[in-house]
Structure 1
Amino acid sequence: MKHLKWGLLSFTSINLLLAACSNDEQKEYFIKAENETIEHIHGAGYWSKEGTPVIATHGGPFEYRDGTWYKTSRNNHDYMGFQTIKDGFYSSGHPEEGSDLKNPLGLVKSTDKGESLEKLAFYGETDFHYLGASYESGTVYTYNEAQNSKMGQGFFYSKNKGEDWTQLELNGMTSTSIGGLDIHPSKDNMIAIYGEEGVFLSKNYGNDFSLIPTTSMVTSLTFKEDSMVYSMLENDKVSLHEISLNDQKKDSSLVAPSLDKENIPIYLEVNPLKEGEMMMVTSMNDVFVSKRQEKKWNKILSKGEIK
């Protein structure tokens, strides 16, 4: 009888162990993405110590590693203005359906790929579509589209995680419309705002801007340590260029994926850990990566479809 009793206890223990393993599997945060169609991409970058490519979507972040796309199994929030930084990411946007979080998210930060969110500012009040941040310092810039509790309409930056905000003076900014903005990875005083006329560059927190004119509209831009890389639409074809921050008249042409006016680059990101690596996201939800100083581009997502 003692032997039978021991056997029953052993069987129960095995069941408990299997149940524990099952619960652990359910807790896996990133799972392989299969038969997915991503309809909207609202940001891109490289995160974690490995410099993993990531895109922000209506259904949470998707990261690409070892030739495979992975998605979050929970906290699948609609991230807007997504911006990776050294210790995580900033974002705005809207909580997933059924979430207890307020809508909109305001400015939030995560240091664990979105498993938890730190509510920094304007929680339940504002949705920022335009965000930028310095990778090293975390200084965050935003364009505020409508009056909220602290800011009117316009460009602002914060050096203390959204507690205090300073409005950009925008002297020399003559454009009436913008395509986007980007912040230097280590020099948080340097911001570029780009659009139809070219690139407006500031080296003093957006107080004064100088125009770097281009021959056509700039559709996306990213900083390297000593240069900027940007895409343009020239004669209905996409071209890629690099310009030195020291000699702003020196413009080099780079190899670009074969794209036209129907599918323009909307996000361009340099891997801050490996400057030779770059990612490009297009308006038709194609994602390209380059690991050889922009000499060759590989498509890792086509029209948002993950098989």
Structure 2
Amino acid sequence: MRKISKALLIGVTTMSLAACTETEEAVQTEEVAAEEENENEVTEEVEEAEAETEEVQESAEVAAEQVTPEESEIELTHIHGLGITEEEGALYVPSHHGLMVFKEGVWSAAEGETHDYMGFAMVDNGFYTSGHPGEGSELANPFGVSRSTDMGQTLEMLDLYKEIDFHVMDVGYDSHAIYVVNPQPNSRMDQAGIHYSIDDAETWTYSAAEGLEGQLMSIGVHPADEAVVAAGTDQGVFVSEDYGQSFEAISDVPTTAVTFSPEGTLFTGGVTNAFTLTAFDITTGEQTDFAIPELSGQNAIGYIAINPQNEQEIYFSTFEKDIYLSEDGGETWTQIADKGIGIDFR
């Protein structure tokens, strides 16, 4: 009995071991199969990823081939400012023959009459301007201070209509505080110089501009703070925090253009041994110099604009009617107008 039991034990153990061996082999076989299946899946995923990468690269190459710079039919006979719309992010350029628009890489003429816009200032709901009527217009000359809330299809005359044209003017993007450089006494201003209005030209106040030195080239109004205004002169950059009553110099570089970004950073175009683009934090005094394309001759920066929805998007125009665009905060630049001829990217 013990022998039989022992034999049975040995048999069971043997069968058990055999079964274990068969199970292990089965498990190992399944594991190998699973591993092979996983490897196949990974291989397929890698191949799919590589295929997708190739497709993206091919699409990018095709897109690069498709987006080819070409000369536009739009010609900028003069450039009297730059402004970017808040909703669409379209660049508006007031020219001698109406407003020109650069949107999604293509130039076009804006709707409305082809006025000679001067003192152009984009705001959150349209623009303010001065200037002269276009050919065939029923409007009188000059415009004084006017406003449009439909991007130039109509103009509302605010003050000094038929009396004066302001070449140097700016308006707070959000505050709508108007600052003008009056060239001579008129029916509303007793003397030449800087004047401002914070009630849409209902009343005007003279700015004494103490501390401001040199020939005034450009003014820029802070987007939100109606009391803050900057001036660029042949003696440097000056900032006022009391409505232009007094100014303090923040740079001695001769300056041809000043404008505030939507966040309140002051951008300036300067003239040293080269033409320069610089940003100032007027609160901390921090200064940032940008590397820009080489500008030769008398081709200084005339106007600057920053997208109100994306401060990485910066435009500047020059005295010789070149326009450049940066979409990465000034790291790289693309020319979108060459000597007044627009460049399309289709």
For this structure pair, what is the TM-score category when the shorter chain's length is used for normalisation? 0.7 to 0.9
Residue 150 (structure 1) aligned with residue 188 (structure 2)? yes
Query: What's the CA shift for 1:48?
Result: 4.2
Q: Which of 57, 73, 77 matches 1:39?
A: 77
Amino acid at match of 1:242: A
Q: 2:141 aligns with which of 103, 106, 112?
A: 103
- Residue 34 (structure 1) shift: 5.0
User: With structure 2 as the length reference, what TM-score do the two structures score?
Assistant: 0.75
Pairing partner for 1:293 from 292, 314, 329: 329
Answering whether residue 283 of structure 2 is matched by residue 246 of structure 1, we say: yes
1:104-125 Cα shifts (integer Å, max 9, x gaps): 1111100001111111001111
Q: Which amino acid aligns with 1:157?
A: Y
* Larger fraction in helix: 2
> CA, structure 1 residues 169+77, in 2 after alignment: closer, same or farther (shift >3 Å)?
same
**Residue 151 of structure 2: SS of its match in structure 1?**
coil
Counterpart contact for 1:233–1:260, Cα < 8 Å: no
Q: Deviations over 1:150-178 (max 9, x none)?
A: 112111111111111011121222x1411
Contact 2:143-2:160 at 8 Å conserved across structures:
yes
Aligned partners of 2:217 and 2:255 also within 8 Å: yes
Instruction: Kindly report which structure 2 residues correspond to 1:1-307, keeping only aligned pairs within 5 A, or say none.
Output: 35-151=73-189, 152-173=191-212, 175-214=213-252, 216-224=253-261, 225-235=263-273, 237-248=274-285, 250-306=286-342
Name the aligned partner's letter for residue 284 of structure 1.
Answer: E
User: What SS does structure 1 have at the residue aligned with 2:92?
Assistant: strand
Tell me, in whole angstroms, the C-alpha distance in 1 between the residues paired with 2:267 and 2:339.
24
- Offset of residue 186 of structure 1: 1.5
Q: Is the contact between residue 202 and residue 210 of structure 1 (CA under 8 Å) also seen in structure 2?
A: yes
Change in 2 beyond 3 A, CA 1:219/1:102: same
In structure 2, relative to structure 1, the CA distance for the partners of 1:41 and 1:50 (3 Å cut) is same
Letter in structure 2 aligned against 1:280: F
- Provide the C-alpha distance between the structure 2 equivalents of 1:163 and 1:127, rounded to a whole number of angstroms: 17
**Offset at 1:217?**
1.3
Stretches of structure 2 lacking an aligned partner (at least 5 in a row): 1-70
Could you give the per-residue CA deviations for residues 73-111 of structure 1, whole angstroms, max 9, x where no partner exists? Answer: 541100000110011000010001121111011111000
Cα contact 2:336–2:342 (8 A) shared by 1: no
Residue in 2 that maps onto 1:9: none
Amino acid at match of 1:217: P
C-alpha RMSD of matched pairs (Å) = 1.6
AA at the equivalent of 2:255:
V
Q: Which amino acid aligns with 1:124?
A: K
Deviant stretches of 4+, over 2 Å: 33-37, 224-227
Amino acid at match of 2:130: S
SS in 2 for 1:275: strand
CA distance in 2, matches of 1:34, 1:232: 29
Change (3 A) 1:101 1:296: same
**Partner SS state of residue 43, structure 1:** coil
Please state how far the C-alpha of 1:231 moved relative to its aligned partner: 2.0
Read off the aligned partner of 1:245 and give its amino acid letter: I
Asked if structure 2 preserves the Cα contact closer than 8 Å seen for 1:79 and 1:91, the reply is yes
Checking the alignment, whether the CA contact within 8 Å between 1:268 and 1:279 is kept in structure 2 is yes
* Counterpart contact for 1:144–1:154, Cα < 8 Å: yes
Q: CA separation in 1, counterparts of 2:184 and 2:176? A: 24
State the identity %. 33
